[in-house]
Amino acid sequence: MPEGIIRIVIGLVALIAGWAIGFFDSKLRADKKIKQAEEKAQLAAQQARGEAERAILMARTTASAPPALPGKTLMRLWLDPAERLALDLDGQAVDTTPISESNRKRLLGLLNVMRPWIEGKSTPASIPPTPAPRPAVPPPSPAPSAPAPVIPAAAVVKEEKPVATLSIVEQIDEILQARLAGSPLAGRGIRLMQSPEGGAIVWVGLQKFAGVDEVTDPEVQAIIRAATAEWEKKYTPGM
């Protein structure tokens, strides 16, 4: 074969080889750029999807949040995360294990306010004021030992408690004792006491009855019911 033809063939082979190398190199670069573009597009789509989900979650949280209520909250009964009952009075959490005497009286006063609604009536009773904390009374200084003066029984005056700090049973008992003072039943030792469940216990001397209906003496029943009716007329007019 002539030398010129050999050179032409070698040149053609080299040209074809160069073109093939360039073609594959360009293809590899193009594939790489396409892959990078696809990865960027996927990343942007994921970011956009995450932002959309966050926006939806924020919108749902805002929509489900309870609106702020006007006024002052007197009582709140709610469940904690462990589904246990909790109580707030006048915007403050109350320890109910057990509940203190002042908080118990405050709760009974608020329940008395709601009584007309519970019984299907529309006129609420007056709101009892928030009990103020009692100031600490310093112990009296010891006095010189001297014989105590004898105070006649008639001079002993029963200390009256403010009505706002008394429970409903105690308020009725105040009226009952006033009625008993001028009646033939005065010496029977009749009195009302609050039960742990919030009801009324009737004592007639040493006899104990779990409610007015269980009292066996009709005269005692009648005077207790009269005291109850007077309390209702005084504190819940129109009911």
pLDDT digits (tens, 9 = 90+) for 120-135: 766 555 565 666 555 5
Structure token pair of residue 219: 């005269």
What pLDDT, on the 0 to 100 scale, is given for residue 232? 85
Residue 236 CB neighbours (<10 A): 19
Distance CA 217, CA 204 (A): 9
Give residue 152's pLDDT band: very low, low, confident or very high (50, 70, 90): very low
Residue 141 pLDDT greater than 70, yes or no? no
Which residues, listed in sequence order, are joined to residue 75 by a DSSP beta bridge? 89
Task: Report which of 185, 135, 163 is spatially closest to residue 234, judged by C-alpha positions.
Answer: 163
What pLDDT, on the 0 to 100 scale, is given for residue 149? 47
Q: Name residue, tokens 């779990």.
A: 210
Q: What is the mean pLDDT of the chain?
A: 77
Question: Does 48 or 159 have the greater pLDDT score?
Answer: 48
